[in-house]
């Protein structure tokens, strides 16, 4: 980095050739051995000099493909060139308009298949590190810019939001900025959805989620936890009191393997495992948080982000052997590339091309191992990935004391079963039109409850679309209640 220095003049004045000569900067990280024993964030963030240098690698394409690669069309070239110019305020202002949770998406978006996957520089080497720059500018803004002020206008309309994950938080922010009074109902005792109970501290510090929620409160948004819509209140009741409703209750019902032994002691769904650790503080130790069984050898089934988060958590909880068992190969793993790389550095053991046949227990019904079958890859399936095919006679036993099932999640029927007016598809996801409107008057929906398990940025995109649709829907209406802005 010594001979590559950030330009100082406004409009850095570099030619495309000069930009091409700059190598992608490195993200400072916590040492792999140290971090596999703690829960502090792995990536340490870029400093100003590194951020400007990285931003100077951007070729400033006339038709930037990165923007098309971003599900919410963030004006990437604008904020990146502002960073290159050292105008962090301008970069932050662009970001604030386009992305409600940049500190989050900068940390957890699968950039390699979105913006960075489309970056021209990626055709011949490393793409511009757009995600790291997004994170840089979000953290810079949090430190240097005043919190957003409450809106000047008050429409008198009241909108209820169900769920405080990225979908609900984004919609709430957008609606509040438009002058609507927003009330969030959240089933858990804390906010953030998967951002808090699923994604671990070492990837997304909870202080960031707190910051985003605090910002919403500054905008006048009310948050009410411990309200399970469908039980404590129904959508119908809410729809009577509010002018519009946005449902973003996620897809929090875990899927299981369906093999014998799955109800033995020491078998967790990833949801329970991560919730105990992240939301309920099990990582702090047995005296401080909720208890969790810690194993010498932990086997996690799955190959996505949830599996990576679980197996890396197991390692941090002290597992000597933290094993990710996946029925395909590394190339087919749906987890973010960075998480797989970090997991490998942390000593996670990958057992590819294996599928579980049975979970084995001891006399006290505690897990003692898993019976596995080796697989090989056959023809591609509906997802386009090569289908794993069992190899006859290849069964073997892997000893372990904890099993975590991380196969993904589906829609929890609790809210929808209590709301028959909502049309569902065959996966029990809520059906919406292109405005995120459901089949129920004044009720909109988005995020995982509509898409099935998807991504943070897609849930945020739905939240934004729904907020604009709700605003439009309310335009020719009269507020139901007295304006309380
Ligand atoms: C462990 C894990 C890791 C992941 N890693 C990534 C990643 O790295 N990158 C990425 O882009 N995506 C990742 N995802 C997926 C991503 O987090 C989700 O797609 C996203 O959070 C969906 O947002 P949402 O707002 O629709 O729902 P959620 O985040 O699930 O939030 C829904 C909220 O609604 C609440 N709720 C549920 N039912 C009710 C009810 N009846 N009444 C009131 N409130 C209710 C829930 O408690 C929750 O707070 C991950 C998912 C998991 C589980």
Residue range 98-121: mean pLDDT, rounded: 94
Does the residue 8 lie in any domain?
no
Q: How many residues does the chain have?
A: 485
Q: Which tokens sit at 17?
A: 């050739």
Question: Does one domain contain both 290 and 326?
Answer: yes
Write down the mean pLDDT value for the chain: 93
Question: Does one domain contain both 399 and 427?
Answer: no
Question: Does one domain contain both 140 and 241?
Answer: no
C-alpha 251 to ligand 1 mean position (Å):
7
Protein residue with least CA distance to atom 53, ligand 1: 198
Question: Does one domain contain both 228 and 341?
Answer: no
Task: Tell me the C-alpha distance between 416 and 426, whole Å.
Answer: 13
Question: Does one domain contain both 280 and 384?
Answer: yes
CATH number at residue 122: 1.10.1060.10
pLDDT digits (tens, 9 = 90+) for 234-265: 999 999 999 999 999 999 999 999 999 999 99
**Which mutation among 107, 223, 313, 456 tests ligand 1's pocket best, with the greatest number of atoms within 8 A of CB?**
456
* Spatial contact of 150 and 179, defined as CB atoms under 8 Å apart: no
Which residues are within 8 A (CB) of 109 and not within 5 positions of it... i.e. 6 or more apart? 115, 131, 134, 455, 456, 457
Task: Tell me the C-alpha distance between 141 and 435, whole Å.
Answer: 31
Among 86, 117, 144, the domain-final residue is 144
> 76, exposed or middle or buried, with CB in 10 Å at 0-12, 13-18, 19+?
buried
**pLDDT at residue 12 greater than cutoff 80:** no
pLDDT digits (tens, 9 = 90+) for 386-424: 889 999 999 999 999 999 999 999 999 999 999 999 999
Task: Tell me the C-alpha distance between 404 and 146, whole Å.
Answer: 43
Task: Tell me the C-alpha distance between 219 and 149, whole Å.
Answer: 6
* Spatial contact of 117 and 149, defined as CB atoms under 8 Å apart: no
pLDDT at position 2 is 35
CATH number at residue 337: 3.50.50.60
Question: Does one domain contain both 312 and 396?
Answer: yes
Does the residue 259 lie in any domain?
yes
Question: Does one domain contain both 216 and 292?
Answer: no
Global pTM exceeds 0.75 = yes
* Spatial contact of 112 and 119, defined as CB atoms under 8 Å apart: no
Closest atom of ligand 1 to 414 CA is: 41
Task: Tell me the C-alpha distance between 295 and 299, whole Å.
Answer: 9
Does the residue 216 lie in any domain?
yes
Does the residue 150 lie in any domain?
no
Does the residue 4 lie in any domain?
no
Question: Does one domain contain both 129 and 34?
Answer: yes
Closest atom of ligand 1 to 232 CA is: 42
C-alpha 294 to ligand 1 mean position (Å):
25
Does the residue 456 lie in any domain?
yes
Task: Tell me the C-alpha distance between 278 and 271, whole Å.
Answer: 10
Among 409, 440, 457, the domain-final residue is 409
The alpha carbon dihedral of 171, 173, 178, 179 has a sign of positive
Q: 407 has which bridge partners? A: none
Closest atom of ligand 1 to 169 CA is: 25
- Residue carrying structure tokens 């590194």: 50
pLDDT at position 6 is 42
Question: Does one domain contain both 218 and 303?
Answer: no
Question: Does one domain contain both 358 and 402?
Answer: yes
Question: Does one domain contain both 272 and 401?
Answer: yes
C-alpha 416 to ligand 1 mean position (Å):
17
Among 144, 167, 193, the domain-final residue is 144
Instruction: Give the chain's domain count.
Output: 3
Q: What percent of the chain has pLDDT over 90?
A: 85
Protein residue with least CA distance to atom 12, ligand 1: 455
Task: Tell me the C-alpha distance between 13 and 122, whole Å.
Answer: 22
Does the residue 118 lie in any domain?
yes
Residue range 443-467: mean pLDDT, rounded: 96
C-alpha 165 to ligand 1 mean position (Å):
5
Does the residue 58 lie in any domain?
yes
Task: Tell me the C-alpha distance between 218 and 215, whole Å.
Answer: 5
pLDDT at position 282 is 85
Question: Does one domain contain both 74 and 199?
Answer: no
Question: Helices marked H in 63-125 — which ranges?
Answer: 65-69, 76-84, 88-98, 102-108, 115-118
Q: Which tokens sit at 164?
A: 């405080």
**Which mutation among 195, 249, 467 tests ligand 1's pocket best, with the greatest number of atoms within 8 A of CB?**
249
Give the CA diameter of the chain. 72
Protein residue with least CA distance to atom 26, ligand 1: 447
Residue range 322-339: mean pLDDT, rounded: 94
Domain limits at 242?
158-252+411-474
């Amino acid at each position: 980095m010594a001979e590559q220095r950030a330009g100082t003049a406004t409009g850095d004045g570099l030619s495309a050739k000069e930009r091409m000569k700059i190598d992608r900067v490195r993200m400072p990280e916590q040492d792999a051995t140290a971090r596999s024993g703690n829960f502090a964030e792995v990536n340490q963030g870029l400093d100003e000099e590194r951020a400007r240098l990285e931003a100077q690698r951007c070729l400033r394409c006339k038709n930037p493909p990165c923007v098309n690669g971003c599900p919410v069309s963030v004006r990437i070239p604008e904020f990146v060139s502002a960073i290159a110019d050292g105008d962090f305020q301008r970069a932050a202002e662009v970001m604030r308009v386009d992305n409600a949770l940049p500190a989050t998406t900068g940390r957890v978006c699968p950039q390699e298949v979105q913006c960075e996957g489309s970056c021209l520089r990626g055709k011949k080497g490393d793409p511009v590190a757009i995600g790291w720059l997004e994170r840089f500018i979000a953290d810079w803004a949090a430190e240097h810019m005043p919190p957003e002020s409450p809106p000047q206008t008050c429409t008198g309309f009241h909108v209820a939001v169900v769920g405080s994950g990225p979908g609900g938080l984004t919609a709430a922010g957008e609606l509040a900025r438009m002058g609507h009074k927003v009330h969030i109902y959240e089933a858990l005792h804390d906010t953030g959805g998967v951002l808090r109970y699923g994604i671990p501290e070492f990837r997304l510090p909870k202080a960031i989620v707190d910051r985003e929620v605090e910002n919403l409160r500054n905008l006048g948004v009310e948050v009410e936890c411990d309200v399970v819509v469908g039980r404590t209140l129904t959508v119908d009741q809410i729809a009577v009191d509010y002018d519009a409703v946005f449902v973003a209750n996620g897809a929090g019902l875990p899927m299981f393997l369906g093999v014998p032994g799955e109800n033995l002691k020491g078998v967790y769904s990833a949801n329970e495992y991560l919730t105990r650790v992240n939301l309920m503080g099990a990582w702090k130790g047995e005296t401080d948080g909720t208890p969790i069984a810690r194993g010498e050898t932990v086997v996690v089934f799955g190959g996505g982000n949830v599996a990576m988060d679980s197996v890396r958590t197991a390692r941090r909880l002290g597992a000597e052997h933290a094993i990710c068992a996946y029925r395909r190969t590394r190339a087919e793993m749906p987890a973010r590339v960075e998480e797989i790389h970090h997991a490998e550095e942390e000593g996670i053991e990958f057992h590819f091309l294996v599928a579980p046949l049975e979970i084995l227990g001891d006399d006290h019904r505690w897990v003692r191992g898993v019976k596995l079958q080796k697989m090989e890859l056959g023809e591609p399936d509906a997802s386009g990935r090569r289908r794993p095919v069992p190899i006859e006679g290849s069964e073997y036993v892997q000893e372990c004391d904890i099993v975590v099932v991380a196969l993904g999640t589906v829609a929890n029927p609790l809210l929808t079963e209590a709301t028959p007016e909502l049309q569902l598809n065959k996966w029990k996801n809520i059906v919406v039109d292109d405005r995120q409107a459901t089949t129920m008057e004044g009720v909109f929906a988005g995020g995982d409850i509509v898409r099935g398990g998807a991504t943070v940025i897609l849930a945020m995109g739905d939240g934004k679309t729904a907020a604009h649709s709700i605003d439009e829907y309310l335009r020719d209406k009269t507020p139901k209640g007295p304006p309380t802005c």
